Every structure is written in structure tokens, then in C-alpha cells.
Amino acid sequence: MTGTLVLAGTPIGDVADAPPRLAAELAAADVIAAEDTRRLRRLTQALDVTPAGRIVSYFEGNEAARTPELADALAGGARVLLVTDAGMPSVSDPGYRLVAAAVERDIKVTAVPGPSAVLTALAVSGLPVDRFCFEGFPPRKAGERRSRLREVADERRTLVYFEAPHRLDDTLAAMAEIFGAERRAAVCRELTKTYEEVKRGTLGELVPWAAEGVRGEITIVVEGAPESGPQELGAEELVRRVRIREEAGERRKEAIAAVAAEAGLPKREVFDAVVAAKNAGVGQGPESVGPAPDAVKTKR
């Protein structure tokens, strides 16, 4: 008989949010794999639970090496409980490798539902929650971060990110540039904790606020891209979209054609906006804008 892998959600702040089954699982597990064993001890003390099983660390640094050991324990019939510092395992936390290994061996995987910073932030953000996508932590390097943001610049679903407080202002600034300064967002800080704060506004408004310094655990919720028609996109927005595509590696001609298709406009109108921006001194990559799209040159 094989064992069972149990993924257990833990409080993201207030320990009173611990799901009722968590205490029972902590007491009954043969092995508890914890992202931080010190935090686990504090949690068990708060829940008045004395684990009977073996406790091992399972974090980013040893996840790859420890997964085979835990998979073997599961194959031998053990009930392995996986907990992270806060929220659900595998959601930007250790867990995916162990789940994949268990599934590969046809071992049962179940979960103890619990608090989630993603869903909590969505619920209090005031932004649409009927459709959303979770993007995890943006890349730390500025260039990689900008590239990743460009990939979802036209995503219409609400976007959710985690971010470190010391990188929040840079990330919001990059979002304001690539998504547009008027895009609505909410920065959720220290959710369910004593100093919980939800700061709502446009990305342009949130950048100077974040520059003053923000502390704590951060979740960012960003409004999805609007469904724009021809009359809704001004020249500045058209130029911005062309520039984003060029920075992502597209040739100008293809970028103009793609933006025109998105906006439902003639390619000539987008081309004229790019030329006007260049003449006004707005940087647009290559010095020459080249011939207008669909310009026909015949020589016989």
C-alpha cells in the first residue's frame, strides 16, 4: 500500500485562520516536510499540537535533493504532510516537484484547503475577479522583468503578482510604463495581519506612494487590459503599443500591422502616429521609420 501526500494551507497572517483539519493532520502525519521548521514549531505551539511524526526541512535550496527521499517514504506507505511558511504549497512555494513525483508513482495527492494570498488579495482589491491569472514573482532583473510584463500587456484577465517590498516601486514603475499609467491596481500589504493595508489607485498614482518605502508581504492585483475599439485608442497609446512590440523584437512594419489589427484601424493611421511621435522627439527605436505600410513600389 502506498501512502498519501497531503498539501496543507497555513495561515498567511492570523493563526486563527488555520483550517480545522490542519491540527489533525499535523498530529497524525508520519512525516512533515516544512519550508521552515522554526515557523512550523511556532505554528504547532499556537495550535496546541504535538506532531508524532518526523519533521524535515523542505525549501527551495534542498527541494530537488529531498524530493526522492520523500517520494520513497510515500511509496513505502507514509502519510507525508507538506506545509510552507504561509498559504498553499506549490503556489510560488516548494511543492511542485514532490507533487509531480507522487503523481508519477501513482501516489494519492490530496489537500487541506486553507488561506491563499492570491484569492484574498483578489477579493479585497475591488477589481474584476471573474477571470484572473496568477503570474507569481516578476523577475528580479529589470530587463527580464520588462520582457515578462510585455508578454501580458494585452491580457484582459485581472493579473496577480507577488513582490518583495524593496522591489515594489521598480515593478510598479515598469507596469505603469508597459501597461499604461491609467491601468487600475491594488497593492495588498500584510494581509490578515495587524498592519494590513490595501492601497488602490492607478499604476501612475501608486508609483510615488511605493517610492516612499513599503514594508511587509506584498501582493499586487492589476486590472486587465481594456477591450479597446478604434475610437478608444489615441495616438499616444498606439505609439506605446508599437514600441512595446519593437522592444520585444518585432520589426516596425510587423509591429504597426499588429497594433492596427488589435485596434481595428488602418495601418496607415498607426504609421502616421509613429511618424508624428518621432517628429515630436518621442524615442521610437530605429532612427528611420521606413516606408508606410502597404506602400507599393513598382519598377518594370
Query: What pLDDT, in 10s, does the model give residues 87-124?
Result: 999 988 899 999 999 999 999 999 999 999 999 999 99
According to DSSP, the residues that pair with 4 across neighbouring strands are: 79, 108
pLDDT at position 259 is 86
| Lowest mean pLDDT, pick from 110-119, 246-255, 278-287 | 278-287
CA 84 to chain centroid, in Å, comes to 18
**What is the spatial distance between Cα 53 and Cα 27, in angstroms, rounded to a whole number?**
8
Percent of the chain at pLDDT > 70 equals 92
> Residue 228: is its pLDDT beyond 80?
no
CA 20 to chain centroid, in Å, comes to 28
**What is the spatial distance between Cα 112 and Cα 73, in angstroms, rounded to a whole number?**
20
CATH among 3.30.160.110, 3.40.1010.10, 3.40.50.620, 3.90.480.20 for 4-115: 3.40.1010.10
pLDDT at position 92 is 86
> Residue 300: is its pLDDT beyond 50?
no
What DSSP character marks residue 10? B
* Residue 60 binned pLDDT confidence (cut-offs 50, 70, 90): very high
Query: What pLDDT, in 10s, does the model give residues 74-89?
Result: 999 999 999 999 999 9
Q: What's the whole-number mean pLDDT along residues 262-280? A: 86
pTM of the shown model:
0.75
> Residue 250: is its pLDDT beyond 50?
yes
pLDDT at position 290 is 52
* Residue 264 binned pLDDT confidence (cut-offs 50, 70, 90): confident
**What is the spatial distance between Cα 136 and Cα 299, in angstroms, rounded to a whole number?**
54
> DSSP strand E in 88-131: where?
108-112
Domain segments of the chain: what residues?
Answer: 4-115, 118-222, 230-279
> Residue 289: is its pLDDT beyond 80?
no
> Is 4-115's fold the same as 118-222's?
no
Query: What pLDDT, in 10s, does the model give residues 160-202?
Result: 999 999 999 999 999 999 999 999 999 999 999 999 999 999 9
> Residue 129: is its pLDDT beyond 90?
yes
> Residue 251: is its pLDDT beyond 70?
yes
Query: Could you tell me the three cell numbers for 254?
Result: 510587423
> DSSP strand E in the chain: where?
4-8, 31-34, 54-57, 79-83, 108-112, 132-136, 158-163, 184-189, 197-202, 218-222
According to DSSP, the residues that pair with 81 across neighbouring strands are: 6, 32
**What is the spatial distance between Cα 83 and Cα 12, in angstroms, rounded to a whole number?**
12
Of residues 263 and 294, which shows the higher confidence score? 263
Neighbours of 179 (CB within 10 A): 26
CATH 3.30.950.10 fits 118-222, yes or no: yes
> Residue 54: is its pLDDT beyond 50?
yes
What is residue 162's three-state secondary structure? strand
> Residue 288: is its pLDDT beyond 50?
no
Of residues 233 and 53, which shows the higher confidence score? 53
DSSP H helix total and E strand total for the chain: 11, 10
> Residue 298: is its pLDDT beyond 80?
no
Q: Convert 134-160 into a string of H (helix), E (strand) and C (coil).
A: EEECCCCCHHHHHHHHHHCCCCCCEEE
